[in-house]
Amino acid sequence: MFLRKSLIFFYYLFLFILIRIKKKFIDLDYYRISIKRYGVFGLIKFYLNRDFNPSKSKFFQEFTKKNKTIWKLNKIKQGKKKYILTSFVHIPEDQICNSLVSKYIERTFKAKSIIPLINKKDIQSEIIMRSYGFKSFKYLEEPNIFSHLFVFIKSYFLLINNKSPKDFLKLKFRDIFYGKIVSEHVIRHTGYPQINDINFSVIYNFSVALDIDNQFSSILKKEKYNGIIMSENQFLPCGIIYQRSLNKKLNVYARHGHPKISIINFRKFSEVYTARAQISKKLFRTIVKKDFNFAVKEGKKNFYKKINKGIDNVWKRESRFVYKNLKYKIHKNGICKIFKWDRKKKILLIFTHTFLDGNYVQGWRAFKDNFEWLKETLDFASKNPQYNYLIKTHPMDSFYKKVKVKTKDFVGEYCKKFGHIKLCPEKISPKSCFELADVGVTSHGTVSLELNALGKPCISAGRTSWGEIVQNLKPINKNEYFKKLKNADKIEKPSKLIRNKMYIYFFIQQSLMTLKHPLVAEFPVSRYSNRDVFWSKNIKLIKNYNYENDFFYKCFKYQVKNNLRHTINLQYKKKLKSL
């Protein structure tokens, strides 16, 4: 046993060295891309004067030039508070939105300073943030090989005796959920849909997380900060920074959505697994009590715009994938004819999740990860032919190129063996898909909200943003989940009151807590978009911007004044008694 452990230890040290060497080649590729974007002399000028924009794009240069002018003309009186601005998503949509949120915080609280915290190699983030007038930067740096080796060895001895990935998931280290943060990062970046043992990848990424925590905690020790601005709160480094911020009682201002956005203010560590799109219980109950009929009517409009036309104010990027097919329709008779099914049998429509995203964003779940949930649900389906099972794969699957196990291939193996399990036709419209379901099945997806709004029951195996708020749902375990599946034909349809409350949730989420920003361009969020077009659109918005008459700023001030979690769209102020 000792010999085996010793061999594993030295083998992992060897892999550690290889990874560090590989990173040097990745750095070379980064420098190649930087030279292509900015030129050698441009980069030299930038490192001599970081206020200089070395980009070869004249549109990007014009954007930063005009953007600087706005904020120079509208200087803010300084107080005592300090805030940290972050962006680790590495796309301008994120950098711009987070910078704008920071300007509102600076203006509202008369902040003494906003300190950007970015990856040291992220030139684009620094160029954009400097155009908003932010000067004093702090950087997350790659540790040198010796300090990283020390942290890696420490991580190895800390984790090597963990019995299973399930134990690791529960790991809370230094008061934050290291196990879940590292697990979601490993799944995302290796492409494997689940972790089956505490392997090198887990230990290495744990050491990376530990180093990030050390760097960020050191920053927080040196100066007192009142809050932090961020968007993403999964993966590394975001998960560590987000949870450590709440652990240290910093206000977290989490920007959500694009191009319509909202600012969500998280204050307590108990909120670490609260989705940014989740509305507060207090706001929901107030609207239900004082504005029930109006909110139901507006929410119904939002809901049917979404399922009939694909208009989604909250998940704009995702809706491009979900609602790309709106015309193709098929009814139960048609689907039963295609698959030679008995029409008298109930159809359980299983809505899968992407394997590489959203595994641990909402709190409790009955299954270890998205893959385990799907596998065990399909295993159950294979042994229970009293129902027909239609599997709707997640439309975002095509977005994740790195995945090593494709959902269609995995489900396809069951479809070959069992005639009562079939993949849903790809081109079918979401509405038609919903209509086929007698009962929906999901781990923790938005489909439970949509099916309930349509008056159809849905079985969930994990926490959703609305389950507790609208239906008072409690956590369940695997046995309770499978019992529900077994008795799916006995599940009652949601009452009219529940349906109406779902519409209210839609109204608040889609209209009341999201609004258009005067400086955020309507543009598809993608790393492969035409950036010159993107910058041109943003330049036009800057030309038309009125600092003194910024409606979004007024809405944010209202949020702060009334101590609300969400930014509220004040266009509804005269229509709602609760505002």
Q: Which residue, chain included where needed, has tokens 């193709």?
A: 328
Residues 193-248 have pLDDT tens digits of: 999 999 999 999 999 999 999 999 999 999 999 999 999 999 999 999 999 999 99
pLDDT bucket at 327, cuts 50 / 70 / 90: low
Separation between Cα atoms, residue 290 and residue 579, nearest integer Å: 10
Q: Which residue has the higher pLDDT, 352 or 164?
A: 352
Asked if 351 contacts 441 with a C-beta cutoff of 8 angstroms, the reply is: yes
Separation between Cα atoms, residue 291 and residue 280, nearest integer Å: 16
Local structure of residue 368 (DSSP, 8 states): S
The model's pTM: 0.96
pLDDT bucket at 523, cuts 50 / 70 / 90: confident
Residues 457-480 have pLDDT tens digits of: 999 999 999 999 999 999 999 999
Q: Is 386 helix (H, G, I), strand (E, B) or coil?
A: coil
pLDDT bucket at 321, cuts 50 / 70 / 90: low
Would you give the distance in Å from CA 456 to the centre of its chain?
27
Separation between Cα atoms, residue 256 and residue 575, nearest integer Å: 24
Q: What average pLDDT does the segment 493-504 reach?
A: 97
pLDDT for the residue 315: 65
Residues 59-106 have pLDDT tens digits of: 999 999 999 999 998 888 788 999 999 999 999 999 999 999 999 999
Asked if 529 contacts 523 with a C-beta cutoff of 8 angstroms, the reply is: yes
The percent of residues in the chain predicted with pLDDT above 70, rounded, is: 97
Mean pLDDT over each residue of the chain, to the nearest integer:
94
Question: What are the start-end ranges of the E strands in 267-397?
Answer: 347-351, 388-392
- Of the candidates 239, 242, 237, 244, the residue with the CA atom closest to the CA atom of residue 211: 237
Q: Is 26 helix (H, G, I), strand (E, B) or coil?
A: helix
pLDDT bucket at 257, cuts 50 / 70 / 90: confident
- Rounded to whole angstroms, what are the CA distances from 310 to 317, 325, 397, 429? 11, 9, 18, 10
